[in-house]
Amino acid sequence: MITAIVLIRTSVDRIPEIAEAIAALDSVSEVFSVTGTYDLIAMVRVAKHDDLADVIPGRISKIPGVEGTDTHVAFRTYSQHDLEAAFAIGLDA
């Protein structure tokens, strides 16, 4: 599974509608409305690297009101469980 974090700039007056349209896409697991330079962050999960092109420039970028994206592909995923285990190494309870 390949995970991409997609930072999205949108028309500010249409953030809720754009977020809902992005969230409805099959490969999108979450969409967050955020503060800062970007308006939305989408978590995209696909089986193959080539599938990112279908989802991000092929579908997300074509949603009316999306003004631009900045995509970051994850190398490795660390869950809360993984982090707790990593920091507990060598500690005696």
Helices first, then strands: H and E counts in the chain: 3, 4
Amino acid at residue number 8: I
For residue 78, count CB atoms less than 10 angstroms from its CB and return exposed for 0-12, middle for 13-18, buried for 19 or more. Answer: exposed
- Residue 36 backbone phi and psi in degrees, to 5: 110, -155
CB 4 within 8 A of CB 74: yes
Domain positions in the chain are 2-87
What 3-state DSSP class applies to 47?
A: coil
**Other Cβ atoms closer than 10 A to 39:** 22
pTM for the structure as a whole: 0.83
**pLDDT tops 80 at residue 93:** no
pLDDT per position as a tens digit, 47-90: 999 999 999 999 999 999 999 999 999 998 777 655 555 555 55
CATH code at 2-87: 3.30.70.920
